[in-house]
């Protein structure tokens, strides 16, 4: 999201697009104990980098 992780008990505000929020929630919902979800995670992170202009 582009912000530092706050200390425990603290908070931080950030403005993000709906797409970035959707991606963060989707990634957090993945069951990474399943090997099949690792490919999904990799793809989602690649798409995020692409949208930030990283490629």
For residue 21, the model assigns a pLDDT of 84
Asked whether residue 27 is assigned to any structural domain, the reply reads yes
For residue 55, the model assigns a pLDDT of 57
Asked whether residue 45 is assigned to any structural domain, the reply reads yes
Asked whether residue 36 is assigned to any structural domain, the reply reads yes
For residue 1, the model assigns a pLDDT of 63
Asked whether residue 11 is assigned to any structural domain, the reply reads no
**Span 9-54, pLDDT tens digits:** 999 888 888 888 888 899 999 999 999 999 999 999 998 888 777 6
State the total domains in the chain. 1
For residue 54, the model assigns a pLDDT of 63
Does pTM surpass 0.85? Answer: no
Asked whether residue 5 is assigned to any structural domain, the reply reads no
CA angle 4/9/14 to nearest 5° reads 35
Report the alpha-carbon distance of residue 33 to residue 54 in Å, rounded: 28
Task: Show the domain range for 43.
Answer: 18-51
For residue 15, the model assigns a pLDDT of 84
């Amino acid at each position: 999201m582009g912000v530092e992780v706050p200390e425990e008990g603290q908070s931080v505000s950030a403005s993000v697009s709906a797409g970035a929020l959707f991606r963060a929630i989707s990634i957090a919902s993945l069951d990474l104990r399943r090997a099949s979800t690792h490919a999904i995670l990799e793809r989602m992170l690649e798409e995020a980098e692409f949208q930030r202009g990283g490629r």
